[in-house]
Structure formats: C-alpha cells, structure tokens
Structure 1
C-alpha cells in the first residue's frame, strides 16, 4: 500500500472518492444493462460490465497521467486546444453518428468508441476562462477587449454545441458566469453578457422554427421535455414516472442488488436514470450515501482551493470541479422529478466513455493543483503556448 501512495500525489481523499464511486458503479451498471441486452438485442450484461470496467481503468490512467503534469501547462494548453475543439465540433455537427438513440450530431466515432465532443469542449473552455481571468487579475478589464479575448471564443464554442445539446450548453454557460463572477469580472458587464446569451438563444429558437429542415426536432425536443415535466405526458414523462416508481419501491434499504424491476422499463437505465435504479436496489440509504460522497467531493474541492497559492489554480479547480458536482446534482434531480430530463449522466457511475474520461481528466487537473506546492503566479503567467509545446517536446 505504501508503494502505491509513493506514486500518487495530491489529495488522497479525492483519490479514495474516485475509487469508491468506480467500484460501487459495477453492480448498478451490471444490473441495469440487462435492459440493454434485450432492448438493443446485442451483447450481454457481463459484456457491458467488462466494457464499463475497461473504461474506468482507462479513466484511472487518465487521472494518473494528468495529475503528474504541472498544472501551469493547462493554461497554455487551453489556447492550443481551442481551435482543435472548434474543428471537432464542426466535424461532429456535420458527420456525427447516432449512439444508443442519442442525437446524431452529438457524437463521433473514434476507433469504434463513441466520443461526445461537447464534453471535451466544455473542459477546455473552463480552463481557457480561468487563464484569461488569472492573467487579468491586476488589470482593469475593458468590455471591448474582453469581448474579443474572452467572450468571442466562448460564443463560438457554445454556438457549435447548442444545436445538438442545449443542456450541456446551459451548464457550461452557467459555470462560466459563476467563474467570471468569482474571478472578478465586472458585474455590470456580466449583465450584458447574460442578456446577449438569452437573446442569442431566442434567435436560435426562431431560426430553428423558421427553417426546421436545418435543425430537425431539436427545438421540438426541448419543448417536449418542458411540456412533459409540467403536464406528465410524453416519452420523457414515461421515463420519469418509471424512475419515481423505482425510487418508491426502494423504500429504506432497497429490494437488493440486481433485483430492480424498473430497469426493464427505463430506456436509459445505465446512464441518465441510473440513480433511480440505485435507490430501488439500495434504498434511501444507498441514495443518501451517493449524495454524501458527492458532497464530500465538493468539500475536498474547496479544501484544495484553500491550499492553492495562485489565482489560476483556484479558478482552474473551481472551473473543472464544480461542473462535476453540478452534473451529478442535475442527474439526481431528473431522476427524482425535480428537474426536466436533460440527458446528463451521473459522474463516474453511469456508463459512457466520454463522461468517464472527461470527469477523470478534470479530477486529474484538480489533483495536479493539490499536488503542487511551489507554483507562483509568475510561473503560471509565463505560459506562452509556444513555450508549452517546446517544453512538452523536450
């Protein structure tokens, strides 16, 4: 055991949380995947479990590799990655494939594995925003200057995510607003940005209504989800109804591991609604335990922030850490009918390679910050992208 701890750095509690969530996820994914076996008509529950385990092992490898990288490299790396993710998002919109019935323009296939580019884009964008705010911490931020350097890249990326994935766009935009507020961006300018964002969304909705062939079913899908949430009708209402039945059947201690009934009726039982299956099988006790673990992760994120010596490190941890907690909260809120269906997975528990990998990448960044004790603000600001490439190659 001592040998293992010699190689892993950073907050040990976060490492433990990742391991607990990953190991706990085995049984719910294995149990819920029986639905996929019959609905999809291919594979087996054991096969889905093996795939999930492999994805988690790769996720741990990502965490280990990323946490070994000095976190100042992520600052310049975000500038390098911005044009890459713009290209990937454009490619995804034009060439995306359907994964498990999901919207066609959300996914691309890499080596036979579905990859959701918007998740990577959100991660890069949060690091880029943290970089901008830290570099201007001692400057008076001008609105016109920030429009070009900060909000133009944000607008381009979000506009490419929006047509296929409104919920992810909304989450990223909300997180960016929170980080910019904490990072000292002028409040009077934030009001203008929020107004511009709402205006852009309205223009998009009107354009989609006027030219339905360009973006088929997207706005209608949003309307259906909101209507289903308020009127208890439609496909989304059916899923939520089954999720509520599963939660009710779980009572205090659950029906037992692998004995869920509603997994046979929930189309997204291994991803979007896996929390309902957990509560059905492990009861209120199991559901409360999961909530508690994410709460502890949030607490440890703030512990890392408290020990961080640079503005960039603080904003980086907030920027990549809060979305994990936010996503988990939304997933559980959807399962308990507190929020409309969004398609957000439960981090490190739901099946799905992109979600697991990007969560692990974010956690690796947080661990990199927590492992660093000698970084100064000058080190972070000396992050010219060309220098980053040169140091990486060396």
Structure 2
C-alpha cells in the first residue's frame, strides 16, 4: 500500500479531495438504495453497496492508468476519437426507445457485460480536449472566423446536435463549458458572440421544428418545456413530486440531520441514489453535511485554479480548465436542482451519485488533470535538481578559489604551503554527489 501511494504522482490536493468525495458517497448510496430494494423490489442494499464499491474501484483504477500517460498524448488522441464519438452518438440516437422504462437515446448497452453507458459523457471529455488542442495550436496567431468555424465550431455543433434531442441539460452544459474555455483561451470575443448567437438561433429553430413536427424525430422538447413551465409557475402541479419530496427531505434535515440511514424521503423520492442524492445527504447529515460536501467541491475547484495557474504550457492550462470546471459546475447544478434554484436537469452529483459511466467519465477527466500536474511536478523537480547542481558547482569553484588564495598568501609570506586542492579528494568535495564517485 505504501508503495502504491508513493506511485501516485501529481497534485496531492486533487487526489485527497477526490478520495474524500468518493468515501463520502458510500453512506448516502447505501442508505438511498433502500428505495430500489423495498419500494421497487430490485436487488439488495448490500448488493447495491458492493456494486457502487466496484464502480469506485474501477474509477480509481482509471485515474491511476490515465495519469500515467503524458498529457500531450491526448492532443493527437482527441483528433482520432472525435469521429469515433460521433459514430457512437449516432448509434445512441437510433439504437432504442427505452431502458428500464426510461428514454434510451442517452445510453447504449455494452455487449457481453450488460453495462449501460452514456455516450454524451465521453463526448464531453473528447470535445473539451479537442477544443483545448485547437486553442493551443492557434495561440499567438491571427485567427479568422471562417477558419475557426470550419476547424473548431463545426465539430462542436455536430456533437451538440447529436446530444441535444435527448439530453438538453448536457448539451447546454457542454456548450457553456466550450464557450468558457475558448474565452479563457483568448479566442476573439466578437467571434464568440457570433457563435453564441448562432447557437441560440439554432436551438430556437430546433424547438420550433420539434413542436411543429413532433413525430419527425425522437426528442424531449415537450419534457423541457413542461419542466420550465413548472419551474416558473406558482401553481401546484402533480409533476412537481420529485422537487417537493427533495424539499421535504432538506427541510427535515435542519442543522445536524436525522442521522446516517434515517432518511424518510428516500422511500418516496425517485432517483434518490443518483439525481437527488444531495437531498438525502442533507436530510441525514443536515445543513452541516450539505455545506461540507459543497466546501469539498469548492476546494477541489480551488485546486484546479491553482494547478491551471502553475501549468507551464497553454494546452495543460486549458486541459485543467476544460475538464475540471465542468465537474464543479455539474455538482453545483445538481445541488441547485435539489434546492429548487434550477429546474430538473437529470445531472448527477460527480463522484457521489451511483452510476458506473458517470463515475468512470469523471475519473478519466480527473486522471488527465492529474497527468498535467504530474508533468509540472517533474519539470519543477528537474529545475530543482539543476539548481542544486549549479549551487554545488559554484560551491566547488568558491572552495577552489579560497584554497588558491590561501596558497598564494602562504607563498608570499614564505610559509609552508597548504595542501593543494585535488579534485580526487571526494570526501571534502561537495561535488561528489554531482560527478559521482
């Protein structure tokens, strides 16, 4: 175990906060799983706990493997994976209608192992790396709107077009994060404004087309509109069931909570172990527990800011921003939905909610970020070793000068000369560590 810990390179703060969030997840997931066991009648609580443990172990295995890969390799890998992601999204769009009663145009089933996989999560990672690669490539060069639109924005809009019909919240999150990333990457503001205007226009056209021809293609436009109407309306609605139960859970928790495993609303709240797990955390651990989780995400966000600032290359900075910030924003969106600051979106709480693909994609993002910080540590270590060698060399020169000066003074006074300095005198030579014995 000690050897394994010593092999964990990169920013220790990020490692620590990710591990803490993963550890925190076990009790809420175990507690909320009773909804699936006793209300829906699926599996056992221990079974769900073991399943979540396996997901976490695989996730940390992915972090370990990914952080070992030099991050500049992902620059070329993103170009290779963009067509693959596009094909996966096309397949996902057409492959089915329902999985366990839910709209299936977000997931695909992995053959032979029966695991469902949300392709939009992988698409976000690949797309953010692709955008970071482009911004690093054009850094310091004059960018025209035509060239950037062809190379940057057409791939972005194609990916978004495949995600939007079935998952508006993820498409909106990806577009927001790409816009933020190109802003950080010093993409011309006037071009960014034009692109945002085009994006809004295309969204309006899509919604209008879907409303006019509802059977033309699979979409969830009516679901989005109903959620927005319910969110902005003051009237009571039967479909507000999830939000009402989440609010009851949060109100019941008060300051210190009901205690671990003592949630009542987990038996009535759908998706209590995934989309609304934050409400269960607050009910069982109170305002203190909810704030502790929020603070952990904010501290992780701070580590992302610090490591992005320290990164030597623009590509490394943009990778941390592009992959790290969406994790934090997704967490804030999940919490905002639970307390009714935002309409229902279906975004999970990263590293805490149950679900294999969401945990694994988050872990891959974390692994790439740690890979960047690992490289910066290696550079800093090389610089420190160089400084140490230079300092040792300077000390050797100074000692040689002092010995020569002492010899000259002795000769001038006719005294016995001190022993001449010898480079072979390794015992007194601080440079022995530099040159070797």
Q: Same fold (TM over 0.5)?
A: yes
Q: How does 1:21-170 map to 2 (within 5 A)?
A: 21-96=21-96, 98-110=98-110, 111-170=113-172
Q: State whether structure 2 residue 220 is matched by structure 1 residue 218.
A: yes
Secondary structure class of the residue paired with 2:102 = coil
Secondary structure class of the residue paired with 2:98 = coil
Secondary structure class of the residue paired with 1:108 = strand
1:293-319 Cα shifts (integer Å, max 9, x gaps): 001100111111121000000001000
Shift, 1:38, TM fit: 3.3
How far apart in 1 are the matches of 2:183 and 2:90? 30
Q: How does 1:190-229 map to 2 (within 5 A)?
A: 190-216=192-218, 218-229=220-231
Contact kept in structure 2, 1:239 and 1:266, CA below 8 Å: yes
CA spacing shift, 1:313–1:272, aligned 2, 3 Å: same
How far apart in 2 are the matches of 1:134 and 1:258? 48
How far apart in 1 are the matches of 2:98 and 2:36? 16
Q: How does 1:193-272 map to 2 (within 5 A)?
A: 193-216=195-218, 218-231=220-233, 233-234=236-237, 236-272=239-275
Shift, 1:203, TM fit: 1.1
Greater shift after overlay, 4-13 or 180-189? Answer: 4-13
CA spacing shift, 1:87–1:216, aligned 2, 3 Å: closer
How far apart in 2 are the matches of 1:275 and 1:340? 15
Shift, 1:236, TM fit: 4.9
Specify the alignment match of 1:189 in structure 2. 191
Unaligned runs of 5+ in 2: 381-437
How many residues align? The count is 376
How far apart in 2 are the matches of 1:57 and 1:230? 41
Contact kept in structure 1, 2:166 and 2:219, CA below 8 Å: no
1:223-274 Cα shifts (integer Å, max 9, x gaps): 1111121225446521111101100000111000001000111111011100
Specify the alignment match of 1:287 in structure 2. 290
Q: State whether structure 2 residue 181 is matched by structure 1 residue 179.
A: yes
Greater shift after overlay, 11-20 or 338-347? Answer: 11-20
Q: Tell which structure's C-alpha radius of gyration is larger.
A: 2
Specify the alignment match of 2:355 in structure 1. 352
How far apart in 2 are the matches of 1:118 and 1:76? 20
How far apart in 1 are the matches of 2:225 and 2:46? 37
Specify the alignment match of 1:382 in structure 2. none
Contact kept in structure 2, 1:96 and 1:106, CA below 8 Å: no
1:355-379 Cα shifts (integer Å, max 9, x gaps): 1001000000110000003679xxx
How far apart in 1 are the matches of 2:347 and 2:58? 21
CA spacing shift, 1:100–1:261, aligned 2, 3 Å: farther
Secondary structure class of the residue paired with 1:105 = coil
Specify the alignment match of 1:381 in structure 2. none
Contact kept in structure 2, 1:98 and 1:107, CA below 8 Å: no
Specify the alignment match of 1:302 in structure 2. 305
How far apart in 1 are the matches of 2:101 and 2:282? 25
TM-score, normalised via structure 2 length? 0.84
CA spacing shift, 1:105–1:198, aligned 2, 3 Å: same
Contact kept in structure 2, 1:97 and 1:106, CA below 8 Å: no
CA spacing shift, 1:156–1:217, aligned 2, 3 Å: closer
TM-score, normalised via structure 1 length? 0.93
Shift, 1:41, TM fit: 2.4
> Aligned to 1:311, which of 311, 314, 328?
314
CA spacing shift, 1:157–1:217, aligned 2, 3 Å: closer
CA spacing shift, 1:9–1:132, aligned 2, 3 Å: same
Greater length-normalized contact order (CA 8 Å, ≥ 6 residues apart): 1
Specify the alignment match of 1:330 in structure 2. 333
CA spacing shift, 1:312–1:294, aligned 2, 3 Å: same
Unaligned runs of 5+ in 1: 377-394
Contact kept in structure 1, 2:165 and 2:219, CA below 8 Å: no
